Amino acid sequence: MKRFLVFLLAFFLNVPVFSQVPAEEPVDQNLGESFKTINDSTFVLRNGLTVILSKNTSKVISVELSINNLPHSDFQIAGIDAVTDNLLNAKGDNYSAETKEGLVEVNLGINKSNFTSLTSKFTDHFEWFANVLVSPKFSENQLQAEKSQLISSISNTTDNPLDIVNRVGKTLSYGPEHPYGELSTIKSLNAITLQDVIIHYQRFAVPKNASLHIKGDLSINFLKNLLLNTFSNWTASNSLNSTVAETVNPQYTQLNFIQNDSIEYSRIQFLNTTDLSKESVDYPESLVALKLLNTLLSNESYETQAFLEILPLASRAIVNVSTASKQTPEVIMDVLDIIKTIRTQQIDDSRLKKIISELKEAYPNVDFSEVDANKVRLASVLHFKVNQMRIVIMADGYKFYERLKEIKLKGKTVPVKFYNTRAERVEDIKFERKLPEGVTIETVFENYLNAIGGIEKVIKINSLTIKAKAVINETRLNLEIKKSVDNNYMSQVLVGGNTLSKLVITEDSSYIWSGGQKKSIGSSELNALRYKSHPFLELLPEYSMLLRIETLNERDVLVVAFSDVSEEYYDFKTGLKTQSVVFDKDSGEKIITSYRNYSNVEGILYPSEISQKIGDATLFFEVTEIKVNPTFKPSEFE
């Protein structure tokens, strides 16, 4: 009765009520012979095409066709996938331009195609979609136009940074000979013929390897009738076996760097190859781990997106990051720490239930009933390998490279390898900015001496005593430094009045005392440390060399060497010294001393806070006393 009233009302109002997709269709007795039913929402055509219907009450219907071919190098021509995709997409663009009514979106390709349509116009768009993919007609003119466009993009030096990172990441993940990793060249594109494209499409557009996922408000019987008139004509070609080598992750985590000094934001990609597939036992757990990772990353200040790229025999776990260049090293460590978290800590039950609930809507055909916290952690360990990861970076390295080199995993420095935008290895880059015009070692020291009080006051100081204190693990340490223009220097660290370590430099003898043992300093080491004895080494420009300008703690600093194992850092704007670095040639370790909060003592500015970083340990000293021009006894340097 209700249906009759609707039709009657429509008749008087002259409103059409018929749509192309009826609410229900009578059951065709012959349908059962043409399809193999898997479950209530999934069935398979005779040619092998798998169809999944996800019913909803939306006013639009979305369709996605995925073809999961095994990677095959014997029949692959570099760039032919891109050419074929462009030819198909050109047809989609033309159709969209001519038939805009009811068509929301359309994308076509040899591996994945999709469109979204208003329900009322679905049938027309679906029939066109099927016709293009089942029986594509390519022309020579179209081929040449698409090849020219791709060749132009290769020659374009202003490529999108994210596209470059994606391209280089694929090549480094799979190798340049692998179908997923090969890069097309002008030569390879020019060599592609129309016959190559036709054969390629026939060989790889195989219904047996394809799945058609449809989401919308339509009946399964209507869909089956529609498929009989469209995709059932798709020839069931034989699928090819894979002939490519297995992809593996690097032996150790490495930073793959692409220099670009014209971008303000770094593009970073964390990559692992994995054998994950939608049929894998841990696929549901992997989706939960991915959702958890994205949730944790979303709390950070930089842009991130983690996803699983499911490909036959060679899937990848990927995390994309965009951040301000100067933050790059810190962001890399932060992301690695978050990945470590999902590998080592089990998700709590409430969060697990929430994530599964959200995933069930997005993945209605995935069974999450057996997922538990430990399985999610194990899936994270299997697919996100922190210690065997490629980290591809495209950025302006001048802003942070010195800090990038300091990134460590398991106590070992992560190596940096340099590549161009074609994923070809290039020579290591020395990130040295040009010194500003007029800056010399003399101007650096002059600016420093003026900043702390003026050279007239400084030259009157012949000796200094500096005392400072620090607390580590509730133990108080005292630091005492004595130096004079007579080349006498002594520094010692005391605990409870007892000497923990001591360094003495004089004209006659020099030594280091540590751990109850006294070690003489050799002549080469002594020459490297001699400059330390002067109260103000900036009065000795003849023993120094201006090296470079770089960024330290977001400020420009001028770096001066007093030997081949020591460097001093001066703020470019204030002139004040901010840091000293001493290198150990044998161990590769370095001691970093930082100076902060300068205060006035008898007309001269001295740092009131000193921190010293050795390895992973940092000591913070507070300066308690500074004596100017004290008189020293010879015994104080014994």
Mean pLDDT of the region 261-282: 91
**Residue 180 identity:** Y
- Is 80 exceeded by the pLDDT of residue 189? yes
Asked if the domains 21-160+189-233 and 441-637 are classified in one and the same CATH topology, the answer is no
Which is nearest to 394 in space by CA: 588, 221, 258, 292? 258
Fill in the DSSP letter of residue 74. T
Helices within 14-49 (DSSP H only): 31-34
Closest CA to 261 of 428, 397, 402, 433: 397
pLDDT at 243: 59
Q: Average the pLDDT over 207-235 and give the result.
A: 90
DSSP 466-524: EEEEEEETTEEEEEEEEEETTS-EEEEEEETTEEEEEEEE-SS-EEEEETTEEEEPPHH
pLDDT above 60 for 2: no
Instruction: Say which CATH architecture domain 441-637 belongs to.
Output: Clam (2.50)
Structure confidence at residue 349 (pLDDT): 94
Bigger pLDDT: 213 vs 261: 213
* Mean pLDDT, all residues of the chain: 85
What's the rounded Cα separation, in Å, for the pair 182 and 507? 65
Question: If 0-12 CB within 10 Å is exposed, 13-18 middle and 19+ buried, where does residue 66 land?
Answer: middle
Residue 73: pLDDT band (50, 70, 90) is low
Q: Is the pLDDT of residue 27 over 60?
A: no
Residue of 62, 580, 155, 82 lying closest to 362 (CA atoms)? 62
Rounded CA separation 179/77 (Å): 8
Which candidate, 54, 39, 48, 53, places its Cα nearest to that of 67? Answer: 48
pLDDT in tens, 424-461: 999 998 877 788 899 999 999 999 999 999 999 999 99
* Tens digits of residue pLDDT in 190-215: 888 999 888 888 888 889 889 999 99
* Beta bridge partners of residue 273, listed in sequence order: 316
pLDDT above 70 (res 151): yes
| 352-364 mean pLDDT | 93
State mean pLDDT over 631-635: 88
Distance CA 32, CA 483 (A): 97
| pLDDT (average), residues 515-524 | 74
- Residue 220 reports pLDDT greater than 60: yes
Positive or negative, the CA dihedral 526, 528, 530, 535 is negative
Report whether pLDDT(13) > 50: no
* pLDDT for position 7: 32
pLDDT average, residue stretch 297-315: 87
Report pLDDT for 552: 83
How far apart CA 47 and CA 237 sit, in angstroms, is 8
Q: How confident is the model at residue 169 (pLDDT cuts 50, 70, 90)?
A: very high
- Residue 324 makes CB contacts below 8 A (sequence gap 6+) with 264, 265, 266, 302
Q: Which helix (H) or strand (E) holds 619?
A: strand 617-628
Q: Whose CA is closest to 25, among 288, 219, 258?
A: 219
Q: Which residue has the higher pLDDT, 4 or 307?
A: 307
Q: Are 62 and 116 in contact, with CB atoms under 8 Å apart? A: yes
pLDDT of residue 75: 54
Q: Where are the alpha helices (DSSP H) in 215-306?
A: 220-228, 283-297
Q: From 3.40.1130.10, 3.40.50.360, 3.40.1030.10, 3.30.830.10, which CATH number describes the 254-418 domain? A: 3.30.830.10
Q: Pick one of 3.30.830.10, 3.65.10.10, 3.30.70.360, 1.20.1420.30 as the CATH number of 21-160+189-233.
A: 3.30.830.10
User: Which residues does residue 625 pair with via DSSP β-bridges, in sequence order?
Assistant: 467
Q: Rounding to the nearest 10 degrees, give the CA dihedral for residues 272, 278, 282, 284.
A: 110
Q: Which pLDDT score, from 0 to 100, does residue 188 have? A: 83
Segment 41-68 shows an average pLDDT of 90
Q: What are the boundaries of each domain within the chain? A: 21-160+189-233, 254-418, 441-637
Residue in the block written with tokens 């000193």: 610
Mean pLDDT of the 560-583 span: 89
Tell me what pLDDT residue 214 has. Answer: 94
Rounded Cα distance between 452 and 449, Å, is 5
For residues 473 and 3, the model is more confident at: 473
How far apart are the C-alpha atoms of 407 and 412, rounded to whole Å?
8
Say how far apart CA 378 and CA 437 lie, in whole Å: 57
Model pLDDT, residue 77 = 74
Write down the pLDDT at residue 100: 67
Task: Note the pTM of the prediction, 2 decimals.
Answer: 0.59
Pairing of strands 60-67, 112-118: antiparallel
pLDDT at 612 exceeding the cut of 90: no
Q: Which residue has the higher pLDDT, 315 or 188?
A: 315
Angle, CA 264 vertex, CA 260 and CA 268 arms, to 5°: 70
pLDDT at position 32 is: 57
Residue 10 has pLDDT above 90, yes or no: no
Give the model's pLDDT for residue 1: 37
- When pLDDT is cut at 50, 70 and 90, the band that residue 529 belongs to is low
pLDDT at 24 over 50: no
Arithmetic mean of pLDDT, 237-248: 65
Q: How many helices (H) and strands (E) does the chain have?
A: 17, 28
Which is more confident, 58 or 6? 58
